[in-house]
Amino acid sequence: MSPRTESRRVSPGLPAPRGELSDDVLAALQRHEPVCLPPDRARHADPYGDDLQLALYVLYELHYQGFRGVGDDREWDPGLLTLRQVLEQRFLAALHADVPRHHDPEEALDALQREPSGHDLSSVSHYLRRDGELWQLKEYAALRSLYHLKEADPHAWVIPRLHGRAKAAMVAIEYDEFGAGRAEDIHARLFADLMEDLALETAYGHYLDEAPSEALATVNLMSLFGLHRAHRGALVGHFAAVEVTSPPGSRRLAAALRRTGAGPAALRFYDEHVEADAVHEQVVRREVVGGLLAAEPALASDVAFGLHATGFLEDRLAGRLLDAWRRGASVLRPSAAYTVGIPAMRTAPAEHARRARG
């Protein structure tokens, strides 16, 4: 794997703040100082807003790749962990209020496996397959890179919290996600290859400043579930939601990329997910979810919550994307939207490609 295409060769720089909350967090990291944040500020922040979601994302990222200039010891800084707990409680309270309480994960999984009609107006993958333009596919890839360049990492945290059937099946699926022993087949690497095909910057975390809060929340959810043993059932529910919805969505996205003339590496990422996740969805339902609930039946409502919270946040992101795209507008935050392109690409593709490659 060459240094040019290794997306995680170096840690990203810190992002720009989006409000007082994220500004205080970033300042504490930059100055190597303890965080001194009035608790009420965090407790009253918009739980889905840019400020809280960015602050939470930054705090979670300390457990992944970290940031340039920030010491690795800050991962377990007591003040940052205390603040993170307040932010998590605010985020979780909003989700519990907005996501109806369900207790049957099987019912939720049945609903996910029922394909919507081809005219579903709320589905991003349906829209991109039918009407999407290349600039919109690039925006989608840029936003999804916040997860896909660390694909499967948040879910791996559940492995030591499982046992028996659930653990064996989870490890088998994660083995595939991490390339089945081949570095060039790690799914995060395949997504970096996709981004190269689309003339996007492949550096890990590059598009954080461009991502709206709805995109950050989808990544924060799995980090939140993954970092807490108490949420192991919810993380399994999240994992099941991802695996069950992946094959049909990936098939539509592959069709959209073919229609818009994307290269072979871009197509390979989604073609791989059509094939691999078609197997995974059955294993995760029977063995991961089934094995967990056979061992710990009291976690059924947590699994269901993970499934429904995932869908809720994905629907919020889909609404943001489709509202912008149907107006011909970029969904990226305007401070750096030119780096992906977008509407300007329709009249100046050469200039767009130059900018996107940096």
Residue range 72-106, pLDDT digits in tens: 999 999 989 999 999 999 999 999 999 988 889 99
CA distance 322 to 268: 25
Greatest Cα pair distance in the chain? 58
Predicted confidence at residue 38, as pLDDT, reads 66
Predicted confidence at residue 353, as pLDDT, reads 35
CA distance 197 to 40: 46
Predicted confidence at residue 243, as pLDDT, reads 92
For residue 44, name the pLDDT band (cuts at 50, 70, 90): confident
DSSP annotation of 356? H
Residue 111 pLDDT > 60, yes or no? yes
Helix boundaries (H) for the chain: 20-30, 39-43, 50-61, 78-98, 105-112, 124-131, 134-148, 153-156, 164-177, 187-197, 213-226, 232-259, 264-283, 290-295, 300-326, 342-345, 349-356
Answer yes or no: are the C-beta atoms of 69 and 78 closer than 8 Å: no
Mean local confidence (pLDDT), 318-340: 82
Tokens linked to 307: 């499934």
Tokens linked to 290: 């089934």
Mean local confidence (pLDDT), 259-271: 92
Q: What is the pTM of this model?
A: 0.90
How far from 297 is each of 159, 291, 292, CA to CA, in Å? 18, 10, 7
What digits encode the pLDDT tens for the residues 119-168? 667 899 999 999 999 999 999 999 999 999 999 999 999 999 999 999 99
Residue 339 pLDDT > 80, yes or no? no
Predicted confidence at residue 3, as pLDDT, reads 43
The number of residues in the chain equals: 358
Task: Mean pLDDT check: name the lowest of 91-100, 206-215, 268-277, 286-295.
Answer: 268-277
For residue 64, name the pLDDT band (cuts at 50, 70, 90): very high
Predicted confidence at residue 86, as pLDDT, reads 93
What digits encode the pLDDT tens for the residues 171-181? 999 999 999 99
Residue 266: closest CA among 186, 328, 200, 177: 200
